[in-house]
A and B are shown apart, each in its own frame.
Chain A
């Protein structure tokens, strides 16, 4: 059994660490305060080829494994969850559907700029009236007489949908009925299309400088060829995309948890109470030991899911387990890190304060913890309720 990263992955991880320390750490707090996606940081990440890691070389990518991307996401999330989710969503939700389900024409048109990080794309599944029940989509797309889709409806919480370099959002919409059931398809809506409106950014608990908007479509018309994947396959395709995304979200959660472990370790060395370093108190030592334990197990779980995928084996359950476990321990570890920091943990100058706010969404986005448990139960053969 080989649990080692390849030597190239190890070198890449080291490089990522120094990049994050030099280019991201010094700014993370102020970016969070400003609440806007720092485009120069995105450009630097693009310069490192991060947005193209997992894409084939013919589209300007590096042809790397999903695990390599996860390593990058983990390293960024140790310090800055907003940038980590920007990368994760750009690749997993924005570009990946095009690679997996796009025609040659769509791939040639969109992938090179996405892989270069020169453009971003969003994926709109969630609607104001429902996310977990993604099949309950209300947005409609009707093929008009002029051979164009006419889209009406709205989408909620769409990551990377309104940045200065967003080129399109892929949405799910009802395109008709088949056997008495809604037919859901995916359609590419370029930003700037008349009738496509991007709402104001949300005021979020965390992920402050990740870009999230509500989107509205009012008789928004796009060419028929903007259909992504087969008609009626939109929903099914989407769910497949989310499996990979879960491994990457687990990596993000592990990064956040590791960041909390690191911050706590250095904090207890420098702080004293009752005449001793607080690091000598067993109560805190046990807390930190537990934090490190959970973080490490969560890391193993996403490594395993990524490995199974690379082997071409089924990984749906393992990806859900990794996402569920990593996101829940991230929230616990962040809470404990704040506790270890005492009052300073509640102050924004201390990174754990931001990590605590950033952690919660991990139990919600790309499938809530409840949905993960449902999915695992289904994989275990338990019946639908």
Chain B
């Protein structure tokens, strides 16, 4: 099975974000493999271990993004493709999907795995767009994965429970955090990653129209999230429990 896992290199979410105009500063800041994508890599590796085949990582990002790909290779993926091009700075989700689709289409694939959304941009639209561009079905918000009779069968998280859905290959699947427990890279894996095939492409090496690479979206304003306010202190006058319960009810927690 040819498994593609889309991964993203993002500024370390544990550090305060730095802005570059209306964009998140990506170059020259400490970055990590998007924690959400670790679940995708793990899902790909498990399917490969079960069914055989190959896991290829695909990413679009600045040159520094190769760190994220190396991380995935260290976990056990077989090869990596990075599409990096100055013209892609400021690309929106649609452009990203076009670029990734063009890179993925260069070879045969059975399954494309992505996280539900990235931990920096959070648009959550890229995977669905990618499936459309690839012309394949999509299974989204996956919380459990199974392959039987040559079909992919997943549990899909919904607002009030889960659905079990299945489809044939090739397809796109998005995984939720918690779908599995991503493995740690071993030192052996880290050393092996150095020798694995790593391809870096520019957009001119892909079949995409230059016009399709222009973002259709423009960020017109960015503002800071309101600081979290201090909590409310309720001195316990004997009614503390009742007041907490009332508060929780109002918040619709109980």
Q: Is A68 an interface position by the 8 A CB rule?
A: yes
Q: Is A193 an interface position by the 8 A CB rule?
A: no
Q: Is B184 an interface position by the 8 A CB rule?
A: yes
Contact B74 A11 (CB under 8 A): yes
Q: Given A11-B70, A11-B71, A11-B74, decide whether A53 and B184 contact each other with a Cβ distance below 8 A.
A: no
**A39: which B residues are within 8 A, CB to CB?**
none
**A49: which B residues are within 8 A, CB to CB?**
186-188
Contact B188 A8 (CB under 8 A): no
Q: Is B105 an interface position by the 8 A CB rule?
A: no
Contact with B along A1-43 (1 / 0, CB 8 A): 0000000100110010011000000000000000000000000
Contact A15 B184 (CB under 8 A): yes
Q: Name B191's contact: one of A47, A48, A62 (CB within 8 Å).
A: A62
Q: What is the bound-complex CA distance between A15 and B188, given in angstroms?
A: 12
Q: Is B185 an interface position by the 8 A CB rule?
A: yes
Q: What is the bound-complex CA distance between A381 and B70, given in angstroms?
A: 49
Within the complex, what minimum Cβ distance (angstroms) separates A18 from chain B? 7
Contact A19 B184 (CB under 8 A): yes
Within the complex, what minimum Cβ distance (angstroms) separates B68 from chain A? 12
Q: What is the bound-complex CA distance between A137 and B85, given in angstroms?
A: 69
**A11: which B residues are within 8 A, CB to CB?**
70-71, 74, 185, 190
Contact with B along A331-366 (1 / 0, CB 8 A): 000000000000000000000000000000000000
Q: Which residue in chain A gives the minimum CB-CB distance to B181? A: A22
Q: Is A205 an interface position by the 8 A CB rule?
A: no
B71, B190, B191 — which one has the most chain A CB atoms within 10 A of its CB? B190
Q: Is A293 an interface position by the 8 A CB rule?
A: no
Q: Is B194 an interface position by the 8 A CB rule?
A: yes
Contact A68 B187 (CB under 8 A): yes
Within the complex, what minimum Cβ distance (angstroms) separates A208 from chain B? 26
**A62: which B residues are within 8 A, CB to CB?**
186-188, 191
Q: What is the bound-complex CA distance between A62 and B70, given in angstroms?
A: 18
Q: What is the bound-complex CA distance between A128 and B215, given in angstroms?
A: 76
Q: What is the bound-complex CA distance between A68 and B71, given in angstroms?
A: 18
**A19: which B residues are within 8 A, CB to CB?**
184
Q: What is the bound-complex CA distance between A8 and B191, given in angstroms?
A: 7
Q: What is the bound-complex CA distance between A163 and B190, given in angstroms?
A: 30
Within the complex, what minimum Cβ distance (angstroms) separates B57 from chain A? 16
**A47: which B residues are within 8 A, CB to CB?**
186
Q: What is the bound-complex CA distance between A19 and B184, given in angstroms?
A: 7
Q: Which residue in chain B gives the minimum CB-CB distance to A49? A: B186
**B187: which A residues are within 8 A, CB to CB?**
8, 12, 48-49, 53, 62, 64, 68
State which residues 166-211 of B face A: CB under 8 Å.
184-188, 190-191, 194
Contact A18 B191 (CB under 8 A): no
Q: What is the bound-complex CA distance between A8 and B188, given in angstroms?
A: 10
Q: What is the bound-complex CA distance between A19 and B188, given in angstroms?
A: 16
**B185: which A residues are within 8 A, CB to CB?**
11-12, 15
Within the complex, what minimum Cβ distance (angstroms) separates B11 from chain A? 15
Contact with A along B31-47 (1 / 0, CB 8 A): 00000000000000000
Contact A48 B70 (CB under 8 A): no
Within the complex, what minimum Cβ distance (angstroms) separates A262 from chain B? 15
Q: What is the bound-complex CA distance between A62 and B192, given in angstroms?
A: 10
Q: Which residue in chain B gives the minimum CB-CB distance to A52? A: B188
Q: Which residue in chain A gives the minimum CB-CB distance to B189? A: A49
**B71: which A residues are within 8 A, CB to CB?**
11
Q: What is the bound-complex CA distance between A164 and B253, given in angstroms?
A: 46
Contact B184 A8 (CB under 8 A): no
Contact A8 B190 (CB under 8 A): yes
Contact B194 A8 (CB under 8 A): yes
Within the complex, what minimum Cβ distance (angstroms) separates A76 from chain B? 13
Q: Which residue in chain B gives the minimum CB-CB distance to A54? A: B187
State which residues 141-186 of B face A: CB under 8 Å.
184-186
Q: What is the bound-complex CA distance between A53 and B188, given in angstroms?
A: 8
State which residues 52-99 of B face A: CB under 8 Å.
70-71, 74
Contact B190 A48 (CB under 8 A): no
Contact with B along A42-74 (1 / 0, CB 8 A): 000001110001000000001010001000000
Within the complex, what minimum Cβ distance (angstroms) separates B66 from chain A? 11
Within the complex, what minimum Cβ distance (angstroms) separates A79 from chain B? 15
A8, A19, A53, A68 — which one has the most chain B CB atoms within 10 A of its CB? A8
Within the complex, what minimum Cβ distance (angstroms) separates A27 from chain B? 16
Q: Which residue in chain A gives the minimum CB-CB distance to B70? A: A11
**B188: which A residues are within 8 A, CB to CB?**
49, 62
Closest 3 CB pairs of A and B: A49-B186, A62-B188, A62-B187
- 5 A-B pairs with C-beta separation under 8 A: A8-B187, A12-B187, A18-B184, A47-B186, A62-B191
Q: A8-B187, A48-B186, A49-B188 are in contact. List 16 more A-B contacts (CB 8 A).
A: A8-B190, A8-B191, A11-B70, A11-B190, A12-B185, A15-B74, A15-B190, A18-B184, A48-B184, A48-B187, A49-B186, A49-B187, A53-B187, A62-B186, A64-B187, A68-B187
B: which residues have CB within 8 A of A?
Answer: 70-71, 74, 184-188, 190-191, 194
A: which residues have CB within 8 A of B?
Answer: 8, 11-12, 15, 18-19, 47-49, 53, 62, 64, 68
